């Protein structure tokens, strides 16, 4: 029985690896994503409002936990006297450590100002997306053996069909990338933190770049959004013009 269970677990692990192996190294015929692209905001979904809703929901949950902890503490406050204002009855004090435990729960959930800026409100999706949230320009370099994404000073390079271990905010992650149909797909599976899947391909008419993101993590709702880019660099604003 133990032997068969072990074999089943091995099969599942191989199956998971096989899923990533479906990303191919060969560039599809006629697909070229290389170039400089500028974000078309009107045609794109903005992830910021989605992230804000998640943050607001987390704050609501934090407040509910804090209020629950306070209610629990109030139920265990001192009980004196015999109901007539006397002190003949036994004095009941809070359970040992209850006060301290409540403080710790509030701190870990962001009950104090420092906690709100700490782990509870860290917004792992924002950290995983990084420069994606701050850059309106994207440059892609593509060759048979390399695929690179450049956003400002942030540069990420991939080997089509390759697997690697990369650094992420909370440690390391398995990274797989390659071609799936006419899209270049990047999948990052960290030991701790969000799983991120990125897809890059051309629109139906071939004139725009389409970027799709899917992020998932236990305890958080799934985040999905699509953005569209037009060819060409961003137009500088506020530069002097010559006569």
Domain count, the chain: 1
Chain segment 120-171, per-residue pLDDT in tens: 456 899 999 999 999 999 999 999 999 999 999 999 999 999 999 999 988 9
Q: Does position 107 have pLDDT exceeding 70, yes or no?
A: no
Asked if the structure places residue 3 within a domain, the reply is no
Lowest mean pLDDT among 17-26, 57-66, 133-142, 196-205: 17-26
Kindly report, residue by residue over 164-221, the tens digit of the pLDDT: 999 998 899 999 999 999 999 999 999 999 999 999 999 999 999 999 999 999 988 9
Query: Which element (helix H / strand E) includes 138?
Result: strand 137-143
CA distances for 9 relative to 89, 185, 191, angstroms: 62, 27, 18
Domain membership of residue 154 (yes or no) is yes
Average pLDDT over residues 11-39: 75
Please report whether residue 207 resides in a domain. Answer: yes
Give the CATH number for residue 155: 2.40.128.20
- The yes-or-no verdict on residue 241 having pLDDT over 90 is no
Q: Which pLDDT score is estimated for 237? A: 60
Does the residue 128 lie in any domain? yes
Asked whether residue 116 is assigned to any structural domain, the reply reads: no
Does residue 192 lie in a domain region?
yes
The domain of 164 spans 33-44+123-231
């Amino acid at each position: 029985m133990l032997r068969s269970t072990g074999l089943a677990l091995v099969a599942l692990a191989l199956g998971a690896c096989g899923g990533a192996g479906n990303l191919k190294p060969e560039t599809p015929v006629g697909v070229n994503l290389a170039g400089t692209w500028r974000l078309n905001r009107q045609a794109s979904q903005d992830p910021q409002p989605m992230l804000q809703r998640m943050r607001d929901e987390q704050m609501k949950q934090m407040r509910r936990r804090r209020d629950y902890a306070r209610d629990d503490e109030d139920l265990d406050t001192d009980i004196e006297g015999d109901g007539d204002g006397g002190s003949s009855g036994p004095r009941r004090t809070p359970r040992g450590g209850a006060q301290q435990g409540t403080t710790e729960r509030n701190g870990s959930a962001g009950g104090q100002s420092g906690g709100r800026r700490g782990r509870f409100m860290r917004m792992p999706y924002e950290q995983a997306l990084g420069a994606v949230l701050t850059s309106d320009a994207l440059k892609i370099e593509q060759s048979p053996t390399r695929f690179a994404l450049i956003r400002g000073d942030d540069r990420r390079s991939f080997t089509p069909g390759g697997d690697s271990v990369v650094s992420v905010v909370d440690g390391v992650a398995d990274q797989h990338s390659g071609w799936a149909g006419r899209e270049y797909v990047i999948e990052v599976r960290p030991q701790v933190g969000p799983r991120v899947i990125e897809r890059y391909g051309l629109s139906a008419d071939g004139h725009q770049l389409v970027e799709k993101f899917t992020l998932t993590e236990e305890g958080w709702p799934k985040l999905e959004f699509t953005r569209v880019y037009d060819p060409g660099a961003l137009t500088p604003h506020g530069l002097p013009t010559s006569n």
